[in-house]
Structure 1
């Protein structure tokens, strides 16, 4: 199993709007690509000195080929949607992980 983890640091003033948008729009759009089997959405429980909040958005797939297709065919548009909606109010980093059997 491959996990595509997106960690987001969102400004406190935008947090509620961002969470609602992620749940109602962005996550369904990512899943609609057909590249992922399921997802999880977590709030990271620690305090940030700047008052922002961190989240982990996790997408699971069964092959690296699907990750590559997602990145080549869908990621740029979906990431641009987030950038336009929440410009300069978040920081993001992405990580790929593989299950160790």
Structure 2
């Protein structure tokens, strides 16, 4: 199993709108792709950055499912984020493998 983690630092003024959009639209759309078996949304409590830092974690069963997501779904979903919150956030993505 793999954990796909997206860390986003969003400016304070946009944080509430972003959080609502994530919970109501974006995460359900990602899960509707069928490539992930679960998800989790976390807020970083002790972030040294300005703005609000969140981690969105998605669990996938295989590298095949992850690759399919990246090829078929991620570009449009990420573009939607970029359109709605342009210049209001920075993000980075990490793929991790479960050890046990």
Question: TM tier, shorter chain?
Answer: over 0.9
Tell me the matched-pair count.
100
Q: Kindly report which structure 2 residues correspond to 1:1-101, keeping only aligned pairs within 5 A, or say none.
A: 1-50=1-50, 52-101=51-100
Cα distance change of structure 1 residues 13 and 58 upon mapping to structure 2, 3 Å threshold = same
Deviation, 1:48, is: 3.5
Determine the C-alpha separation between the residues in 2 that align with 1:49 and 1:39: 24
Determine the C-alpha separation between the residues in 2 that align with 1:80 and 1:60: 21
**Structure 1: runs of 5+ lacking an equivalent:** none
Determine the C-alpha separation between the residues in 2 that align with 1:84 and 1:65: 28
Cα distance change of structure 1 residues 98 and 86 upon mapping to structure 2, 3 Å threshold = same
Q: Secondary structure at the match of 1:54?
A: strand
Deviation, 1:47, is: 4.3
Cα distance change of structure 1 residues 47 and 95 upon mapping to structure 2, 3 Å threshold = closer
Deviation, 1:49, is: 5.0
Deviation, 1:46, is: 1.4
Cα distance change of structure 1 residues 95 and 47 upon mapping to structure 2, 3 Å threshold = closer
Q: Scaled by the length of structure 1, what TM-score is found?
A: 0.96
Q: Scaled by the length of structure 2, what TM-score is found?
A: 0.97
